[in-house]
Homo-oligomer: A and B are copies of this chain.
Amino acid sequence: MSTSIPVVEQLPTLPTEEVLSAVRSAFAELAAGTAVQPAQTVTLLPGGGDVIAYQAATSDAYAAKVSPYLPQPDGPAIVTAWTVVLSTRTGRPVVLCDSAALTVERTAATTALAVDLLARSDASTLAVIGAGPQAHAHLRYARAVRSFTDVRIYSRSLREAPDGTTLAASADEAAAGADVVLLCTSAAEAVIDVTALSPGTLVTSISTNVPKAHEIAPTELPKLEVYGDYRPTVTASAGELVIAAEQGIWSPEQLRGDLPELLTGTCERPSGERPVFFRSIGLGIEDLAIARLLVPST
């Protein structure tokens, strides 16, 4: 019995540029066909609850992320997620890590990649809606891709603005006149009025895993230029996209592009005529990309 791979329970601080570069490479590999992203599987547990398994492979590694959802008789359900990464050169595991912190990093880095690809190059005003770990990570990664000089933040629970930011009185006040608006809430309903935004403004949304959760009104989608992280998964799972498609007011063919398409120049960029909306769901290859940074040398 010997222990020879790192088991990472607490994420070390990862260099922002390295994380951004890893996520960018993962989507470039997806575009080039050297990364694969199979559908997730759900195993219903005999005692109630379930385990969702996500798999992903890039040119030299494979990852399986398993995430149990375990209802408790008295109190909130236990939800965890663990990722095991195998080298596809050796067939051996290289790291097993707690995916919770990993998820925050990869989600924020993916949003920042979208900001880099979709926001005006001279974007200077940023609005962040939310004040949790996702909001903080989004702010950090967004600052790495644009030089924001005016940063407004709004959250119902926030009483004091973090350093270098201004506290707004409402989400709509924070968003008014901003070049980029990052929605980082766990809201299940619209948090800003996107019809009040100027053409070219970029709004990003991550929302939650709750079925049909959304941070903007599905009815406003036709007024926006809509992009997503990965076409097959975002059109199937994003609450506002699914609702608008069910209502017949928007269809998946209207998605202008996704990150692999934006990286390879195979979709139209924003026209500047309408506000731009970027929605992400999250992919196993993002987890794999970050998890590999935890391994000293593979």
Contact = CB atoms under 8 A, between A and B. Distances in A.
Given A12-B1, A46-B34, A64-B64, A93 B86 contact: no
B33 A46 contact: yes
Contacts of A35: 46
Contact of A43 (B1, B57, B84): B57
B59 A47 contact: yes
A250 interface: no
Contacts of A55: 41, 43, 51, 53
B46 A38 contact: no
B57 A51 contact: yes
A243 interface: no
A218 B26 CA distance: 47
Nearest to A91: B80
A14 interface: no
Interface in A185-205: none
Given A38-B41, A46-B58, A10 B1 contact: yes
B41 A36 contact: no
Contact of A62 (B7, B29, B51, B64): B51
Contact of A45 (B2, B8, B62): B62
A41 B43 contact: no
A117 B34 CA distance: 49
Given A49-B88, A68-B91, A82-B93, 13 more contacts: A1-B9, A2-B10, A3-B3, A3-B6, A5-B7, A34-B46, A35-B46, A38-B41, A46-B58, A62-B66, A66-B84, A78-B91, A80-B92
A144 B19 CA distance: 55
Interface string A83-113: 0101011111100100000000000000000
27 contacts: A1-B8, A1-B12, A2-B9, A3-B7, A5-B7, A5-B96, A7-B96, A29-B46, A34-B47, A35-B46, A36-B43, A36-B44, A36-B45, A43-B62, A45-B62, A47-B59, A53-B55, A62-B66, A64-B64, A68-B86, A70-B88, A70-B89, A78-B90, A82-B84, A82-B86, A82-B93, A93-B96
A204 to B, nearest CB: 29
B46 A57 contact: yes
